[in-house]
Amino acid sequence: MGDAELHLERIIKAPIEAVFDKLADIESINDWQPHRGSIRRKSVKTSDGPVGLGTTYEDSTLFGKAPGEVSVFDQPTALEYHWWQQAPWGAKLAEGWPGYRLSDARDGTTRVTHYARLRTYGVYAPATPVMKWIAVRERTAVLDALEKSFS
């Protein structure tokens, strides 16, 4: 098993409620998150009702499908997703917890602390450093796109 963590921070020129709503809207993520250079291709909400704790979704990525669920939903200050990938025979290969802590910064801006935890299993475990590098690149691109979406 391999574990990795990362933390990034950004000030977004938008009110905290607007930033939270954008991060929590699983299907509109497809409109503003990066497409070029990203491993994520599309996200689809797979449960009914508004997004909240326990809402399920599925990401299509370069590495295949990754189901997930909203694991923290504390509007407007905390949001976390939990995704996992399994081998065709059912063994868990990797799982991650990308999340956001939001706070009012000043003058209508929001401090976004973006963190991600990654856990790899079995044959994926030796690749943990490479997967962390990919995650840092991916998560930085997400923050860049989030910031751009409000400009």
Q: What is the pLDDT of residue 16?
A: 98
Residues spanned by the domain of 36: 2-149
CATH of the domain at 99: 3.30.530.20
Nearest in space to 76 (alpha carbons), one of 28, 34, 112: 112
User: Using one digit for the tens of pLDDT, what is the confidence trace for 77-96?
Assistant: 999 999 999 988 989 999 99
Cα–chain-centroid distance for residue 128?
Answer: 18
User: Using one digit for the tens of pLDDT, what is the confidence trace for 18-28?
Assistant: 999 999 999 89
**Rounded Cα gap, residues 65 and 37, in angstroms:** 18
**Rounded Cα gap, residues 50 and 15, in angstroms:** 21
Summarize the confidence of residues 35-46 as an average pLDDT.
86
Its pTM surpasses 0.85: yes
Buried b (16+ CB within 10 A) or exposed e, 121-137: beebeeebeebbeebee
Structural domains of the chain, count: 1
